[in-house]
Structure 1
Amino acid sequence: MIPAIFLAISFSGVDQLLAQSADWRNVKNGHSISTNGYCDQPYAVVLKNGKWLCVFTTGATAEGTGGQHIVSTVTEDQGKTWTKTVAIENPGSESASWAMPYLTRYGRVYVFYDYNGDKIHELNGQKNIREDMLGWYCYKYSDDEGKTWSKRYRLNIPKTKLDLNNDWKGEVQILWGIGKPVDVDGGMMFAFTRMGKYLIDNCEGWFFRCDNINTERNPDKLKWSLLPGNEQGLKNEKLGPVNEEQNIFQLNNGTLYCMERTISGHPAESYSHDGGKTWTLPQVPQYLNGIELKNPRACPRIWKCKNGKYLFWYHNNGSWNFTSRNPAWVSGGIEKNGKIIWSQPEILFYEDEVEKRMSYPDLIEQGGKYWITETNKEEARSHEVPVDFLNKLWSQFQINTVASKNLIQEWKQADLASKSTVTVPESNYQPGFTLDFRLRLGDLQPGQTIFSSKNNGKSVEVKTAEYGSVEIILKDGTDSSKWNSDPGLIPAYGEHGVTIIVDNGPKIIQFVVDGTVCNGRDFRQYGWGRYTVKMDDFRFLNIETGQLAKGQLQPQGQVTMLRVYNRPLMNTEAIGNQKNYMK
């Protein structure tokens, strides 16, 4: 075992004695559920006796290859160890995939999944095609904590124009789901996607609803409704041909809310006010400041928590493809006037290997604590998420206090005259650092040094950049990395709050300007940037202010306040700092 250097740090307002290598956001510090080849959609329910039952899709090799099947496993110690898996469907020539569990009020666990019951393995002369999204929607159940499973039952899905125009002219249906079943009006609903073109193109959202699943124990007497009640599923063609991976929850006022992924660079949300029979046209969700949320073609998972608040897992970038899933981000949601309002995002999890892709998570709540499962398709893991982190996230809408934890020093305008130097108390910046300052510019000319710091061959420099932005340049003596705020947020008039967060965990730089977390908006795919320079041993000893330009009609620029933290603040804390000035 390699010894770790322990540091007293505070992250998200929680004082802990942690090794830097034990950052809870690093997925490698989670508990493994499975590493058996391919592993996907590790979804869990908490049983009556407190055990967790997890189901997932697995196979000996890669996703979509032969032998793909679904299994269950149980943990009695909140995810630290898991029992040997039990096959819900055995591996064979026909795939069984995308298992989603539901726990009834009387303790039965149902699992809903795809099954290639039509035994399709060929299309247009091509043999051994991927077939894990072809065929039937099925379910099984267990009354003994997943030790044994019932026979297979099939759900009836009447054919629509979408099916009749697919590659098999309706003889085969193309479908799959990631929308874990949720409680709705005393019954249950889950979302799934139907495709009109092999493999996953021309997609629509559909919903199964069962109102007597919590009272009727005879599966032959379950009453199923397929929604919406028309010939077309949920989609907005203006967002592209891909409207998929729908998942839902029920608001406190009874309205249903759906989130889906698209290839527009954004997720899409929709509401139903009649139990799923009709839905509003899917639209790109916005933060409270009007900026649109971003997500690539990746799972847009939503949850309703027991406290009546909400969480949204996504990836906070505007890519259109299946990549760019590292890190995973989270927004907190609250209900206001019958709508969901999402907070600006925080980094939730990251992988050290940038190209790794984590996705298909689930949320577990037990005893006032929270865990999230996720997978990179090769390993599924569970992670406890600090309660204080989530509470801070949900507080973003009203927070207006200055973060005090790990605040090394604060300087006022009188200390920050042009070409002056301030001394920074000695500290350790291994987790990263935050520069929180107020800035008044007289001229937008790029390249003006706002302030800088050098130590032992390494440096941090903050300058004005193009189009009304600010950039930070990190140098480690060999290489340099830089990133800038979104364009246009810092005009040459008025005073502006700028927070630069340098996070040595995922090695990501973020900017928060006047309460807005930069997400690239329409200007660029990412609002956050990665850095490769080695800054974990950098120390601020002195900070020198630059000489900012004077505009034709504006006075000379000035830094009017500066705070240095020896940790990466949460974006929520940065917003609180900036709101405190404006209140």
Structure 2
Amino acid sequence: MVTTASGPQLPDDTQRARHDPRLIENGHVIQANGYSDQPYVVVTRSGSWLCVVTSSDAHEGDSSQRIIARTSTDRGFTWSDPIDIEPADGPEASWAVPLVTSSGRIYVFYTYNAKNIREVPTDTGRSPRVDTLGDMVFRYSDDEGRSWSANRFDVPIRTYDIDRRNPYGGDVQFWWSVGKPEIVGTSVFIAASKVGEFREESQGFQKTSEGFLLRSDNILAEQDPTKITWETLPDGEFGLRAPEGEVAEEHKVVGLRNGDLYCVYRSEKGYVASATSRDGGHTWSTPEWATFASGRPIKNPRAATFAWSCGDGRHLLWFHNNSNTWFGTYRNPAWLSGGIEVDGVIQWSEPEIAIYADNPQVSMSYPDLVQFDGRFSLTETEKHTARIHDIDDELIQGLWGRRSQRLEEDIVLDYVDGADETAFTVTPFQLRRGNWRIEDARAGFTLSLSIEVHDLTPGRILVDNRDSTGRGICLEIEHEGRLRFIMSDGRRECSWTSDAGTLAAGAETHIGVIVDGGPKIVLFMVDGRLQDGGDARPYGWGRFSDDLRDVNSARPLSVHGRGRREVRALRIYDRALRVAEVVELRGRSRAQHAS
């Protein structure tokens, strides 16, 4: 049985596509002058938003680096002029993380170069970067950020073994924090990273690093800042290290429902590191790579990865879904995974693209999650421009397993198991959003297939509607059980190949091919799992040209190859489904075959 659908484009299709909320430029600008980093937001007692930014007049690490605040009374649409928390003419002040308490007081903690040290010894010389050394200090505001305490106050950090191995033997501490403080019960935890040895900046700067926490059990109630108590954790001489390698940094801690702590952080091995504490931070599990619920390790370059608690045992994880091991331009797009606690362990969902830039060289990072009135917003920065983005609630809820309400919409072809033993063709279909130019459409399309292939000979075609010019789409078998998806406008061909072992002879398999016209990315999903390249390649997803145009073909679609009924079912959607929707389609397919 075959059903096709076509018709005029809906009036608001292009409008909706152009305003993809995931597109970085569609966010609201917080700050766009000089250097802007770590745009972190707290919601004040009156409901206004306060954003703290590490800023400079020039670039990261410049001597003008300072801490400023901006406020918004319209949920991030517009922001006030900057308010200095630390001025530009003082020693470097960097890496601010804010905390708001139930009394309305706002604290901002940051790294302060109190001794005004001007250079750092490295393994090959000396570096002028002095923004990850000094004291942890804080100022506070009791008027929602309009003014700040005249004095700054020290937070004592206990010396570890890694400190005694730094260039000053521990007399100066090298550290920084990127994770907002976490309230767990009546305690506050601030995760941070210590540095031991340094390389030249072009080689990565921090050579050895590990994590630690500052814990205060009275800051939420104590109004006298000099009486706030602090404890450096974990116990002993060593902090939170990576499962492999000497780099473990940019730690972010969240509390679980039972009061336990869960920490994620970046490494130089291409994966998200994680550890759990069951005793309030004093001791931690052996660090390991964080995994999806399927057991696959979560890929991430040397870039910030953050977990946030969203209440009721639900969490979100920001990462970049590739295993490149360098800083580089590997932070676009940014992805989210949804976590649900099961017996004190977070199970992470298959991920979704949350934010992207059209230029692959743009790298966004150092995000914050703002939860307000049941809605979710994300901040990010590409170092020069800091923005805030409204996140589609369907995307967020889908990460936590909410069923889609749209899976019976936007279907342009619906084929179910023909009886013909030879190649089977169906009426041509049209993708209403088939024009890929950036200014025209960002919706994309999706293929959902249930297949059982017995002959894995490379070059065998499963579906194909390309015409004599090559325009159209094709899905064919590649070597080592891979699939290759091809699309062409008759002048330019773009393709992407799935991971090895996608197909096994005689095994029923659900395949999703998502062609996302926003970030111009093709994604393969196999039996409800998004491919990530495995051990063979850093990416499981591929970009296609933004110059690709109309991929519609007038030729009928050949559905199931030669001689076998290999394609049991095929749906083509006139939009890029979310990953969670393809997961749901796979579940429906299994249920139908089971019945």
Q: 2:201 aligns to what?
A: none
**What letter is aligned with 1:173?**
Q
Q: 1:179 aligns to what?
A: 179
Instruction: Provide the identity percentage.
Output: 37
Q: 1:465 aligns to what?
A: 478
Q: TM-score w.r.t. structure 2 length?
A: 0.91
- Please give the alpha-carbon distance, in whole angstroms, between the structure 1 residues aligned to 2:497 and 2:302: 26
Deviations 1:435-462 (A, max 9, x none): 1111221211111111112368622111
2:246 paired with 1:233? no
Structure 1 pair 557/486, CA: closer, same or farther in 2 (3 Å)? farther
Native 8 Å contact 1:363 1:371 kept in 2:
yes
Runs (5+) with no aligned partner, structure 2: 1-8, 199-204, 434-440
Native 8 Å contact 1:418 1:558 kept in 2:
no
2:400 paired with 1:394? yes
Structure 1 pair 41/281, CA: closer, same or farther in 2 (3 Å)? same
Native 8 Å contact 1:422 1:542 kept in 2:
no
Q: 2:314 aligns to what?
A: 309
Native 8 Å contact 1:402 1:577 kept in 2:
no
Match of 2:218 among 212, 219, 222: 212
- Please give the alpha-carbon distance, in whole angstroms, between the structure 1 residues aligned to 2:279 and 2:361: 42
- Please give the alpha-carbon distance, in whole angstroms, between the structure 1 residues aligned to 2:279 and 2:460: 57
Q: 1:49 aligns to what?
A: 46
Q: 2:438 aligns to what?
A: none
Native 8 Å contact 1:419 1:544 kept in 2:
no
Native 8 Å contact 2:450 2:510 kept in 1:
yes
Q: 1:153 aligns to what?
A: 153
**What letter is aligned with 2:588?**
N
Where do 1:404-423 residues align within 5 Å? 404-414=408-418, 418-423=422-427
Shift in Å, 1:156: 1.2
- Please give the alpha-carbon distance, in whole angstroms, between the structure 2 residues aligned to 1:379 and 1:415: 57
Deviations 1:99-154 (A, max 9, x none): 00000110000001001112111245967711110111111101111111111111
**What letter is aligned with 1:174?**
F
Q: 1:12 aligns to what?
A: none
- Please give the alpha-carbon distance, in whole angstroms, between the structure 1 residues aligned to 2:181 and 2:376: 19
Shift in Å, 1:6: 7.2
Q: 1:576 aligns to what?
A: 584
Deviations 1:262-319 (A, max 9, x none): 0111011111011001111110112222211100011101100134310000000011
- Please give the alpha-carbon distance, in whole angstroms, between the structure 2 residues aligned to 1:376 and 1:122: 26
Deviations 1:391-435 (A, max 9, x none): 111107xx5999212122211111775433212444412421101
Native 8 Å contact 2:444 2:575 kept in 1:
yes
- Please give the alpha-carbon distance, in whole angstroms, between the structure 2 residues aligned to 1:84 and 1:378: 17
Q: 1:21 aligns to what?
A: 18
Q: 2:300 aligns to what?
A: 295
Q: 1:143 aligns to what?
A: 142
Structure 1 pair 495/160, CA: closer, same or farther in 2 (3 Å)? closer
**What letter is aligned with 2:371?**
E
- Please give the alpha-carbon distance, in whole angstroms, between the structure 1 residues aligned to 2:12 and 2:549: 15
Native 8 Å contact 1:474 1:482 kept in 2:
yes
- Please give the alpha-carbon distance, in whole angstroms, between the structure 2 residues aligned to 1:81 and 1:473: 43
Q: 2:446 aligns to what?
A: 434
> Which sits farther off after the overlay, 383-392 or 339-348?
383-392
- Please give the alpha-carbon distance, in whole angstroms, between the structure 2 residues aligned to 1:435 and 1:228: 49
Match of 2:381 among 344, 365, 375: 375
Where do 1:205-284 residues align within 5 Å? 205-236=211-242, 238-284=243-289
2:94 paired with 1:89? no
Where do 1:36-115 residues align within 5 Å? 36-92=33-89, 94-115=91-112
Aligned residues: 564
Q: TM-score w.r.t. structure 1 length?
A: 0.93
- Please give the alpha-carbon distance, in whole angstroms, between the structure 1 residues aligned to 2:560 and 2:224: 78
- Please give the alpha-carbon distance, in whole angstroms, between the structure 2 residues aligned to 1:454 and 1:224: 67
Native 8 Å contact 2:398 2:404 kept in 1:
no
Q: 2:502 aligns to what?
A: 489
Q: Secondary structure at the match of 2:54?
A: strand
Structure 1 pair 241/127, CA: closer, same or farther in 2 (3 Å)? closer
**What letter is aligned with 1:187?**
S
Shift in Å, 1:165: 1.2
Shift in Å, 1:83: 0.5
**What letter is aligned with 2:572?**
V
> Which sits farther off after the overlay, 18-27 or 308-317?
18-27
Q: 2:202 aligns to what?
A: none
Deviations 1:150-190 (A, max 9, x none): 11111112322211111122222110011110111212111
Structure 1 pair 417/568, CA: closer, same or farther in 2 (3 Å)? farther
Structure 1 pair 416/38, CA: closer, same or farther in 2 (3 Å)? farther
Shift in Å, 1:539: 2.8
Q: Secondary structure at the match of 2:208?
A: strand
Q: Secondary structure at the match of 2:490?
A: coil
Q: 2:4 aligns to what?
A: none
Deviations 1:294-350 (A, max 9, x none): 000111011001343100000000111112000000000000011000001111110
Native 8 Å contact 1:32 1:379 kept in 2:
yes
The structure with more strand, counted as a fraction of residues: 1
Structure 1 pair 409/297, CA: closer, same or farther in 2 (3 Å)? same
Match of 1:528 among 538, 541, 547: 541
Query: What is the root-mean-square deviation of aligned Cα atoms in Å?
Result: 2.0
Shift in Å, 1:540: 5.4
Native 8 Å contact 1:6 1:19 kept in 2:
no
- Please give the alpha-carbon distance, in whole angstroms, between the structure 1 residues aligned to 2:323 and 2:127: 34
- Please give the alpha-carbon distance, in whole angstroms, between the structure 1 residues aligned to 2:479 and 2:524: 15
Q: 1:505 aligns to what?
A: 518
Q: Secondary structure at the match of 2:502?
A: coil
Native 8 Å contact 2:418 2:565 kept in 1:
no
- Please give the alpha-carbon distance, in whole angstroms, between the structure 2 residues aligned to 1:496 and 1:130: 53
Q: 1:558 aligns to what?
A: 566
Q: 2:530 aligns to what?
A: 517
**What letter is aligned with 1:222?**
I
Q: 1:328 aligns to what?
A: 334
Native 8 Å contact 2:560 2:567 kept in 1:
no
Structure 1 pair 543/308, CA: closer, same or farther in 2 (3 Å)? farther
Runs (5+) with no aligned partner, structure 1: 10-16, 551-555
**What letter is aligned with 1:147?**
R
Shift in Å, 1:490: 0.9
**What letter is aligned with 1:136?**
D
Structure 1 pair 402/103, CA: closer, same or farther in 2 (3 Å)? closer
Q: Secondary structure at the match of 1:572?
A: helix
Native 8 Å contact 2:425 2:559 kept in 1:
no
